[in-house]
Amino acid sequence: MSRKLMGIALAIGLLVVPLSAWASDKGAGCGLGKVVFEGQSGFLSHSTAMTTNGLGTGYALTTQTVGMTVGTLGCDTSKAVDAQSVERDVFVAVNLENLSQDMAVGAGEHLNSLASLMGCGESAYSEFGQMTRDNYAALMERADQSSTELVSGLQQQISTHPALASRCARVS
């Protein structure tokens, strides 16, 4: 493998791993990193915790796999894996600025994509957009609003909305 290709692979790895920790409200997941960095916030803490979780004697035996096997280190294997929520959370984290603009006007490509990721069918896009426009101030309270706060606010608004509560399947 050439040095250039190895450099590109390393750069992608350094971006993807911390991004997934940053995008999730659950932080670094479970493992030794979760225990060691418990209560700390910020990109560096989450990235280091996630890296620590991956330490081990190989790809198969990490602190996370040990924690899941033994049931320690904050690991809970009784919960279902939810790839759709991860996809939604990463989408919101990466597109937060564009989503904010679309929400302010109640329409747009990014907003329609988010509606789809929230489980709303195309027939609900217009109503979803109107709901985000009408509740924009509550959904985007602060300039430093996090993606997880936005998703949580949207879930709350959808669950109490008379029409969207029944038309959007993935509100939790």
Burial class of 111 by CB neighbour count within 10 A (0 to 12, 13 to 18, 19+) = buried
- Domain membership of residue 75 (yes or no) is no
pLDDT: which is higher, 92 or 1? 92
90 in the same domain as 66: no
- Domain membership of residue 77 (yes or no) is no
- What is the residue range of 59's domain? 3-70
What is the pLDDT at residue 99? 94
d(CA 85, CA 77): 17
Q: What pTM was computed for the model?
A: 0.56
Give the residue from 19, 41, 70 where a domain finishes: 70
What is the pLDDT at residue 81? 52
88 in the same domain as 41: no
What is the pLDDT at residue 146? 83
- Domain membership of residue 172 (yes or no) is no
With vertex at residue 91, the alpha carbon angle to CA 105 and CA 36, rounded to the nearest 5 degrees, is: 130
Average pLDDT over all residues of the chain: 74
d(CA 103, CA 67): 41
